[in-house]
């Protein structure tokens, strides 16, 4: 049997021939022979390399259909997974979405967005970490086409529902038989546990899956600060806080100033001398009683926010105080000051695709 490296080279050569205009029927047998022993993840690896070499995504997209037509009998094998597993959940939702379309249940179908969001924002990033970039990108493009069809249906074009049914059936088949097996090949059990935990945060479509009673092991890296939603180095955190376009000051639970950022266009003067100072001493005596009242209500849990706006040199300045809590316990107050003059002038829309 040829080594995988040899098969990969042959597969790339055949795909390039197809890209250059070769008749698929002329290379079908050879393509089938080369691909029969490859895993879905190995085929995805070849496709990724071809994209990197300049073959358009659209061509790779077409290959998904070729894979399915060549190996339908081989990939009909069911994937055996525990009920808590993210792939098991996604495949179950595929059935539920197809059922909603078949029954013409538009109201239920409107709730299916969570399914696509979980794939795009959780599963796809994990695949990308393993170098599987193009297959998720192709699937995301199909998601957007599905969304366009759904939008028309939701606006009253119910005649489009048959077209939608055909589109999701084809799309789900590609995910079930190519994308998901690829994911199972490359992702570790710990990663699947992390994915499931994040799936729970977004929620599910049409059913509640079995709970995952499995402890997730957290990995700690030297020099890295771990958060519930990610990890960053101290220099990255500082640079980020200094980049955001508003001024931030943090006061701890004992009313002591602990931090302020150094934004480019700071509105009010802040110096390092205030670190360790009581927040009451940072305000004129005539307003200290208001500061105390705000903080007192934050501490008692009566309020979570207080907002004020003033005019400074012809600019509209918004000043907001927020109670900072961890697990319901008050840990301090954050002051956020922002120049909203230009924001108030915004009208209409400017979308990402409008950027120049």
> pLDDT tens, 82-132?
999 999 999 999 999 999 999 999 999 999 999 999 999 999 999 988 888
- Average pLDDT rounded to a whole number, residues 232-252: 95
What was the pLDDT predicted at 216? Answer: 58
- Average pLDDT rounded to a whole number, residues 120-149: 90
pTM: 0.64
Q: What are phi and psi of 330, to 5 degrees?
A: -70, 125
Q: Please count the CA atoms within 13 angstroms of the CA of 48 that sit on its side-chain side.
A: 17
- Average pLDDT rounded to a whole number, residues 46-52: 77
Task: Residue 204: name the closest of 92, 326, 51, 341 by CA.
Answer: 92
In tens, the pLDDT along 198-225 reads 999 999 999 999 988 766 566 667 788 8
For residue 241, give the 3-state DSSP assignment.
helix
The Cα-based distances of 74 to 14, 36, 67, 71 in angstroms read 21, 8, 10, 5
For residues 62 and 243, the model is more confident at 243
Q: How confident is the model at residue 160 (pLDDT cuts 50, 70, 90)?
A: very high
In tens, the pLDDT along 285-341 reads 899 999 999 999 999 999 999 999 999 999 999 999 999 999 999 999 999 999 999
- Average pLDDT rounded to a whole number, residues 56-84: 65
- Average pLDDT rounded to a whole number, residues 260-275: 89
pLDDT at 145 over 70: yes
Q: Which residues contact 191 (CB under 8 A, 6 or more apart)?
A: 126
List, in sequence order, every beta strand (DSSP E) within 234-341: 247-252, 257-260, 305-312, 315-326, 329-339
Alpha-carbon distance of 42 to 64, in angstroms, equals 14
CATH 1.10.1040.50 for domain 86-202: no
Q: How confident is the model at residue 4 (pLDDT cuts 50, 70, 90)?
A: very low
- Average pLDDT rounded to a whole number, residues 271-285: 89
Domain ranges within the chain, ordered by starting residue = 4-71, 86-202, 233-344
Lowest mean pLDDT among 45-49, 236-240, 271-275: 45-49
* Percentage of the residues of the chain whose pLDDT score is greater than 70: 88
pLDDT at 242 over 60: yes
Give me the chain's average pLDDT, please. 86
Q: How confident is the model at residue 269 (pLDDT cuts 50, 70, 90)?
A: confident
What was the pLDDT predicted at 72? Answer: 53
Alpha-carbon distance of 8 to 18, in angstroms, equals 15
For residues 96 and 79, the model is more confident at 96
For residues 72 and 119, the model is more confident at 119
Match domain 233-344 to its CATH number in 3.30.450.20, 3.20.20.140, 3.40.50.300, 3.30.70.890: 3.30.450.20
Length of the chain: 356
Q: How confident is the model at residue 1 (pLDDT cuts 50, 70, 90)?
A: very low
């Amino acid at each position: 049997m040829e080594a995988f490296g040899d098969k990969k080279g042959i597969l790339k050569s055949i795909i390039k021939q197809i890209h250059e205009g070769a008749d698929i029927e002329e290379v079908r047998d050879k393509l089938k022979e080369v691909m029969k022993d490859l895993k879905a993840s190995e085929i995805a690896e070849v496709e990724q390399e071809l994209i990197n070499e300049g073959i358009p995504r659209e061509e790779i997209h077409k290959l998904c259909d070729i894979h399915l037509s060549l190996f339908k009998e081989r990939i009909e094998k069911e994937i055996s997974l525990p009920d808590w597993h993210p792939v098991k959940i996604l495949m179950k939702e595929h059935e539920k979405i197809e059922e909603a379309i078949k029954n013409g249940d538009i109201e239920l179908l409107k709730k299916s967005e969570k399914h696509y969001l979980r794939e795009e924002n959780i599963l796809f990033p994990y695949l990308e970490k393993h170098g599987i970039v193009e297959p998720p990108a192709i699937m995301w493009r199909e998601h957007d086409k599905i969304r366009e069809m759904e939008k028309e249906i939701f606006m009253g074009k119910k005649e489009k529902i048959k077209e939608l049914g055909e589109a999701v059936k084809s799309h789900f088949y590609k995910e079930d038989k190519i994308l998901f097996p690829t994911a199972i090949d490359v992702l570790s059990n710990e990663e699947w546990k992390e994915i499931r935990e994040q799936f729970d945060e977004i929620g599910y479509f049409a059913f509640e899956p079995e709970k995952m009673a499995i402890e997730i092991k957290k990995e700690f890296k030297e020099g890295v600060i771990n958060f519930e939603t990610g990890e960053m180095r101290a220099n990255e955190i500082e640079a980020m806080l200094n980049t955001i376009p508003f001024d931030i000051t943090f006061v701890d639970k004992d009313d002591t100033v602990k931090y302020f950022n150094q934004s480019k266009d700071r509105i009010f003067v802040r110096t390092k001398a205030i670190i360790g100072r009581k927040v009451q001493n940072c305000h004129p005596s005539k307003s200290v009683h208001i500061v105390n009242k705000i903080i007192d209500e934050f501490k008692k849990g009566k309020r979570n926010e207080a907002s004020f706006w003033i005019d400074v040199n012809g600019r509209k300045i918004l000043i907001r105080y927020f109670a900072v809590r961890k697990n319901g316990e008050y840990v301090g107050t954050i002051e956020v000051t922002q120049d909203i003059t230009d924001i108030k002038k915004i009208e209409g829309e400017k979308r990402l695709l409008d950027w120049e």
